[in-house]
């Protein structure tokens, strides 16, 4: 809900089709969700490389990176997590509208927050694809690349997703990846095949 009054939407003079046609691209959002260390950022980075190799206009919004700037005034309380995801949803929507294949990698643990990000894309007639990076917590905890699970288990981080804060798995994700069962390259192949299937990118 906007705090401002007397604001009016101002349409531009060009249509989305004109913009995307001129750029030769189709915008959409691939929303990676999953536990910390499930592989969201690793897969999104590798996918970004694969897409750039194919000259696809894409951009990655990464959880930790966005918290360094746009969202540096937010913590990890439920309210702050909700606001974090709300802002990312809006930014992803703008990137998608601009014609980018937008990759977001955020734990985004609460279903309601992800559903809002989806709803804002739906309202803007932009495709939103939820990708569940479904890695068992035991595997995530064993990887623990940033030592966060160790800290959470020791009580040094409160409200850590999967330990003392819930992760609500997507009920109807468009794509499920199981990085514990195959390598990063295979996860990327599945994402690329998915994007080809959806007509977002041309078949190679």
Where do contacts with ligand ADP occur on this chain (CB under 6 A)? 34, 36-43, 105, 143, 145, 179, 183-184, 187
Residue nearest to ligand ADP according to CB distances in the complex: 39
Residue whose C-alpha is closest to residue 131's, from 47, 32, 63:
32
Q: Nearest distance from residue 66's CB to ligand ADP, in Å?
A: 12
Beta bridge partners, 103, equal 30, 60
Q: Which is nearer to ligand ADP, 45 or 82 (CB)?
A: 45
Contacts (Cβ under 8 Å, ≥6 apart) of 146: 36, 37
In contact, 35 and 114? CB cutoff 8 Å: no
Q: Nearest distance from residue 74's CB to ligand ADP, in Å?
A: 17
Q: Tell me how far the alpha carbon of residue 155 is from its chain's centroid.
A: 28
Residue whose C-alpha is closest to residue 149's, from 140, 67, 110:
140
| Distance (Å, whole) CA 91 – CA 102 | 10
Q: Which is nearer to ligand ADP, 28 or 131 (CB)?
A: 131
Q: Which is nearer to ligand ADP, 173 or 179 (CB)?
A: 179
Q: Nearest distance from residue 148's CB to ligand ADP, in Å?
A: 9
Can 105 be counted among the known catalytic residues?
A: yes
Which of the following is catalytic: 36, 38, 41, 105?
Answer: 105
Beta bridge partners, 130, equal 31
How big is the CA angle at 130 (ends 9 and 164), to the nearest 5 degrees? 105
Q: Nearest distance from residue 187's CB to ligand ADP, in Å?
A: 6
Q: Which is nearer to ligand ADP, 29 or 105 (CB)?
A: 105
Residues tagged active-site:
105
């Amino acid at each position: 809900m906007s705090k401002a009054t007397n604001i009016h939407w101002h349409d531009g003079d060009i249509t989305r089709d004109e913009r995307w046609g001129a750029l030769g691209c189709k915008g959409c959002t691939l929303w990676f969700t999953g536990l910390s260390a499930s592989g969201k950022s690793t897969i999104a980075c590798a996918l970004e490389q694969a897409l750039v190799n194919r000259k696809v206009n894409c951009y990655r919004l990464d959880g930790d990176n966005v918290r360094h700037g746009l969202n540096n005034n937010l913590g990890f309380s439920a309210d702050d997590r909700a606001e974090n995801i709300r802002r990312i949803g809006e930014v992803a929507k703008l990137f998608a509208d601009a014609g980018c294949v937008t990759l977001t990698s955020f734990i985004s643990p609460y279903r309601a927050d992800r559903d809002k990000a989806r709803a804002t894309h739906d309202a803007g007639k932009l495709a939103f694809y939820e990708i569940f990076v479904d890695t068992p917590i035991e595997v995530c905890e064993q990887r623990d690349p940033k030592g966060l699970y160790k800290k959470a288990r020791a009580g040094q981080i409160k409200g850590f997703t999967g330990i003392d804060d819930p992760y609500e798995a997507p009920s109807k994700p468009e794509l499920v990846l199981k990085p514990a069962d195959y390598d990063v390259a295979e996860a990327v192949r599945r994402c690329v095949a998915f994007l080809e299937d959806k007509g977002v990118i041309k078949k190679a």
